[in-house]
């Protein structure tokens, strides 16, 4: 596509991205930061307070578990507007870049219609919409990988100045590494390496100019990595070996995360990629044919996109340390396959089995939706933490009605054999489901955010002079509490904690020994203890030495004091 058509397609992609970004930014300040978000926000807040842009700190102690790009960007937002949940606009911006780049990749591989549809399906995917409103580095990683794929495809076009596009590719990959380590290099490297070797053998690797790539990556990455390593002995080993190699093998220390089961990881991918994941199988057969030397251009493009998605999913499936949101970089290629599957359906390439599957899906959605409308609240109430937030139960009936209507619409589209009606129904239904989930997040704020805890501490009739957190090995959970309390929180020493090498010799000031805590708790000075939210407690028995008084209770987050105080719930 050249000339005016290319300009119009690019303009459409930008319009789609900006429009979706505006919708995603509605009430971006709700809910309050959840656990992970609070961690990144607090590191950024302390970056401003301490004036140290090289060594990140959490709870005013060195914290080098993640590279600094998101901290830098968030600190920039805080510098301009003060600490605010609107810092999530960074993820919205990354989502806009991802959508535009996905549209352009689709236009290059197939045509402008496929590209625009891929962008629409991605924008309405449940996981994409939720992640775009979450302050963590994963959306930055997704944006860097899609942008890198776009640059690589441009570099492969005849007549293009490949060197400039390759420089851009390596530069955006470097930014992705600054956001979350080496993951972007793997996510992009798998499909590029496979397709390059397929098309030109090992000799084709020279076209990627690896020497140029190393130079660009070094220019982007070395300044911060060298500076922080010089300031913090033990960082280099921890970053390369502990945070990457041992983490992949689920042997990292401290043991501050637990990998998700493989079945849960794939289920989470299916949920996050809805509705695109339903249409993507329509292009799988074509992707298989795309490995033939004589295959058509579209089939070869489908093969590339399939390897892109499969590379992400299989790589993390092999990692016992996998977490469900690691599937996010697979959402753009899934959306591209889905758009191609829709295009094939409109041309009559999809048979009766394809339509029958969607008819069955619609029927199941109708039945489950009706059941949810009638009995959903009772079903949800059996999960103890949901029962702690009654506002969630009230969503069951309207969510069931929406699901039932969605099922009816899907069945109607299959009866009409209208691919356009089907994809519209899937996109619209997913968008409504995303709104329901966002409302649910707001109503569950008291269960997953530290703001209610900090508010209860501040409102205590006898404000405690010292606040102690019952730290698990994943002690960085304290970040959200420190952010909303706007103060340092003392960390009760976790049992069996093995520090990363960059904290060698520093744990004496990081943690409060349990014997010292017990001595101070029984003293005259007022103290408050906040429980570890990873431990389920039906009551605070055994949380602190007697006597103690319950100040507040939010789900699995208990606050007790050593002095009488008013109870807040």
The reply to whether 405 falls in a domain is yes
pLDDT of residue 209: 95
Other beta carbons within 10 angstroms of residue 351's beta carbon come to: 9
The reply to whether 66 falls in a domain is no
Asked if 462 and 501 sit in the same domain, the reply is yes
pLDDT of residue 133: 97
The reply to whether 65 falls in a domain is no
Q: What number of residues does the chain have? A: 569
Q: How far is CA 459 from CA 33, 269, 287, 463, 481, in A?
A: 20, 41, 60, 7, 15
Instruction: Please state the separation of Cα 282 from the chain's center in Å.
Output: 27
The reply to whether 69 falls in a domain is no
The reply to whether 37 falls in a domain is no
Task: Report the DSSP pairing between strands 557-561 and 527-530.
Answer: antiparallel
Nearest to 557 by CA among 495, 467, 466, 488: 467
pLDDT of residue 293: 75
Integer Cα distance of 294 and 291 in angstroms: 9
Integer Cα distance of 569 and 553 in angstroms: 6
pLDDT of residue 568: 40
- The reply to whether omega before 254 is within 30° of 0 (cis) is yes
pLDDT of residue 368: 96
Residue 73: beta bridge partners? none
| Domain's final residue, options 418, 444, 470 | 444
| Domain's final residue, options 426, 444, 462 | 444
Asked if 283 and 388 sit in the same domain, the reply is no
Say if CB 381 and CB 393 are below 8 A apart: yes
With H, G, I as helix, E, B as strand and everything else as coil, classify residue 466: strand
Integer Cα distance of 341 and 279 in angstroms: 6
- DSSP codes joined into one string, 252-295: -SS----PPPHHHHHHHHHHHTTTHHHHGGGGHHHHHHTTSTT-
| Domain's final residue, options 329, 346, 363 | 346
Kindly state the tokens that stand for 197. Answer: 């070797």
Asked if 337 and 383 sit in the same domain, the reply is no
pLDDT of residue 389: 82
- Residue-wise burial string across 199-230, b where 16 or more C-beta atoms lie within 10 A, e elsewhere: eeeeeeeeebbeeebeebbeebbeebbeebbe
Integer Cα distance of 506 and 317 in angstroms: 35
Q: What is the pLDDT of residues 190-236, one digit of tens each?
A: 999 999 998 888 888 999 999 999 999 999 999 999 999 999 999 99
Say if CB 410 and CB 362 are below 8 A apart: yes
Asked if 247 and 119 sit in the same domain, the reply is yes
Q: What is the pLDDT of residues 413-445, one digit of tens each?
A: 999 988 889 999 999 999 999 999 999 999 999
Integer Cα distance of 420 and 251 in angstroms: 48
The reply to whether 62 falls in a domain is no
pLDDT < 50: residue spans in the chain: 1, 567-569
Instruction: Please state the separation of Cα 67 from the chain's center in Å.
Output: 16
pLDDT of residue 23: 97
The reply to whether 74 falls in a domain is no
Kindly state the tokens that stand for 502. Answer: 């960059």
The reply to whether 501 falls in a domain is yes
Domain hosting residue 430, numbered range: 352-444
The number of domains in the chain is 3
Asked if 440 and 457 sit in the same domain, the reply is no
Q: How far is CA 28 from CA 86, 257, 486, in A?
A: 6, 28, 21
Kindly state the tokens that stand for 540. Answer: 């605070």
With H, G, I as helix, E, B as strand and everything else as coil, classify residue 323: coil
Integer Cα distance of 310 and 322 in angstroms: 15
Integer Cα distance of 564 and 569 in angstroms: 16
């Amino acid at each position: 596509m050249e000339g005016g058509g290319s300009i119009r397609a690019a303009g459409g992609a930008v319009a789609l991205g900006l429009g979706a970004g505006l919708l995603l930014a509605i009430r971006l300040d709700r809910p309050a930061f959840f656990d992970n978000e609070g961690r990144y926000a607090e590191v950024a807040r302390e970056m401003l307070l301490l004036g140290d842009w090289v060594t990140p700190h959490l709870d005013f102690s060195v914290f080098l578990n993640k590279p600094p790009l998101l901290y830098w960007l968030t600190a920039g937002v805080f510098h301009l507007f003060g600490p605010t949940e609107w810092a999530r606009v960074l993820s919205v911006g990354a989502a806009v870049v991802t959508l535009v780049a996905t549209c352009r990749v689709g236009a290059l591989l197939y045509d402008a219609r496929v590209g625009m549809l891929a962008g629409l399906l991605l924008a309405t995917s449940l996981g994409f919409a939720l992640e775009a409103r979450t302050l963590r580095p994963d959306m930055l990683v997704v944006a860097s990988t899609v942008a890198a794929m776009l640059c690589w495809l441009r570099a492969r076009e005849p007549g293009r100045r490949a060197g400039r596009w390759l420089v851009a590719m390596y530069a955006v990959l470097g930014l992705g590494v600054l956001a979350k380590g080496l993951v972007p290099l793997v996510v992009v490297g798998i499909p590029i390496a496979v397709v390059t070797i397929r098309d030109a053998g090992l000799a084709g690797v020279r076209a990627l100019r690896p020497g140029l790539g190393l130079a660009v990556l070094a220019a982007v990455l070395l300044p911060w990595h060298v500076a922080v390593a010089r300031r913090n002995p033990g960082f280099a080993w921890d970053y390369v070996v502990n945070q990457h190699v041992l983490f992949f093998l689920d042997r990292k220390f401290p043991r501050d995360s637990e990998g998700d089961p493989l079945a849960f990881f794939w289920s989470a991918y299916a949920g996050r990629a809805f509705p695109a994941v339903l249409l993507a199988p329509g292009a799988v057969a074509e992707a298989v044919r795309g490995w033939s030397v004589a295959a058509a251009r579209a089939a070869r493009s489908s093969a590339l996109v399939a390897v892109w998605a499969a590379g992400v999913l299989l790589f993390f499936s092999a990692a016992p340390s996998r977490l469900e949101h690691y599937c996010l970089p697979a959402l753009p290629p899934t959306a591209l396959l889905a758009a191609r599957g829709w295009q094939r359906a409109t041309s009559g390439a999809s048979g009766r089995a394809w339509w029958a599957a969607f008819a069955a899906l619609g029927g199941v959605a109708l039945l489950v939706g009706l059941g949810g409308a009638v009995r959903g609240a009772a079903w949800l109430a059996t999960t103890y933490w949901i029962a702690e937030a009654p506002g969630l139960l009230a969503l069951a009936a309207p969510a069931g009605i929406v699901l039932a209507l969605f099922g009816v619409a899907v069945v109607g589209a299959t009866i009409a054999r209208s691919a356009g009606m089907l994809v519209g129904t899937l996109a619209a239904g997913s968008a409504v489901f995303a709104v329901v989930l966002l409302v649910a997040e707001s109503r569950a704020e008291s269960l997953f955010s530290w703001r209610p805890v900090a508010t209860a501490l501040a409102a205590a009739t006898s404000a405690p002079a010292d606040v102690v957190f019952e730290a698990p090995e994943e002690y960085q959970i304290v970040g959200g509490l420190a952010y909303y309390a706007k103060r340092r929180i003392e960390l009760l020493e976790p049992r069996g904690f093995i520090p990363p090498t960059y904290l060698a010799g520093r744990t004496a000031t990081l943690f409060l020994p349990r014997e010292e805590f017990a001595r101070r708790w029984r003293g005259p000075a007022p103290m408050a203890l906040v429980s570890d939210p990873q431990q389920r407690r039906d009551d605070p028995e055994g949380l602190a030495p007697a006597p103690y008084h319950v100040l507040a209770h939010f789900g699995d987050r208990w606050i007790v004091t050593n002095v009488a105080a008013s109870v807040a719930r």
